[in-house]
């Protein structure tokens, strides 16, 4: 009888040991996921092939390598904040996430949508995501002065192409979008604000797929930036690999 107990104990320890190894990584976190909610910059557009999305090389995919929680890529290329609001329940709230990273607004801007209309949709998204336990990170598609200088050159190029004359309005619209992002930040003090996702990416051509989207290496850098921003939440919940 004692010999049988010893054998069973050894087998059980071996099985549990295999489960804990998890191919060299920490034990898989079985709690609430982190949803990355956005447009082409989240889906991974241009990561490996210009004009094509590749979620396996997106910033959420690279983020997944750093954290134990499940990372859900809820990015759809071309989405405006209105599109995001329309699919919030199905693509975000249905996962009951512990944290959400929002990266929307760029397509509103590029489509010359009035900034206040975009703000209304973004504010509605933020309000619907709020509860006492969920962490919200709101990322701006607008970068620092280096980003702005490069972006303005891109807008000028777009506007020079046949049929794209409307892009000439983008420089005048940019201050309005900077304003609404600042307002959303100040109006939601319990929300974390990610001010710049572009540091070291936009102005370095080898990290860009086109004049708007990063390539795989650029998305990897973006993942590092976002990881650093959400690190306090990850540490508090023991989610860092």
Q: Can you give the pLDDT at residue 20?
A: 36
Q: Are 80 and 107 in contact (CB under 8 A)?
A: yes
Q: Can you give the pLDDT at residue 200?
A: 93
Q: Given CA atoms 234, 38, 204, 112 in this order, what sign does their dihedral have?
A: negative
* Own/partner long-range contacts of 165-168 (Cβ < 8 Å, ≥24 apart): 166/112
Q: Are 196 and 175 in contact (CB under 8 A)?
A: no
pTM: 0.86
Q: Can you give the pLDDT at residue 14?
A: 33
3-state DSSP call for residue 5? helix
29-236, CATH topology level: Rossmann fold (3.40.50)
Taking 50 as the pLDDT cut, the residues of the chain under it are 1-29
Q: Can you give the pLDDT at residue 30?
A: 53
Distance between CA atoms of residues 205 and 55, nearest Å:
21
Name the strand (E) or helix (H) holding 225.
Answer: helix 216-236
């Amino acid at each position: 009888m004692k010999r049988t107990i010893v054998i069973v104990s050894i087998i059980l320890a071996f099985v549990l040991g295999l489960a804990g190894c998890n191919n060299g990584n920490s034990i898989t976190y079985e709690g609430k996921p982190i949803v990355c909610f956005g447009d082409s910059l989240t889906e991974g557009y241009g990561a490996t092939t210009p004009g094509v999305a590749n979620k396996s090389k997106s910033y959420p995919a690279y983020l997944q390598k750093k954290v134990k929680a499940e990372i859900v890529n809820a990015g759809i290329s071309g989405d405006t904040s209105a599109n995001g609001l329309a699919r919030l329940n199905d693509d975000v709230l249905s996962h009951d996430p512990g944290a959400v990273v929002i990266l929307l607004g760029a397509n509103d801007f590029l489509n010359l949508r009035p900034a206040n209309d975009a703000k209304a949709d973004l504010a509605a998204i933020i309000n619907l995501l709020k509860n006492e336990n969920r962490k919200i990170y709101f990322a701006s598609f607008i970068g620092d002065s280096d980003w702005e200088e490069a972006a303005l050159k891109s807008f000028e190029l777009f506007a020079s192409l046949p049929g794209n004359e409307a892009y000439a309005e983008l420089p005048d619209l940019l201050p309005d979008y900077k304003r609404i992002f600042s307002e959303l930040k100040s109006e939601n003090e319990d929300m974390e604000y990610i001010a710049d996702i572009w540091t070291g990416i936009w102005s370095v051509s080898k990290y860009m797929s086109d004049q708007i989207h990063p390539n795989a290496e650029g998305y990897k850098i973006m993942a590092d930036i976002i990881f650093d921003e959400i690190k306090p939440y990850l540490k508090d919940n023991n989610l860092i690999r």
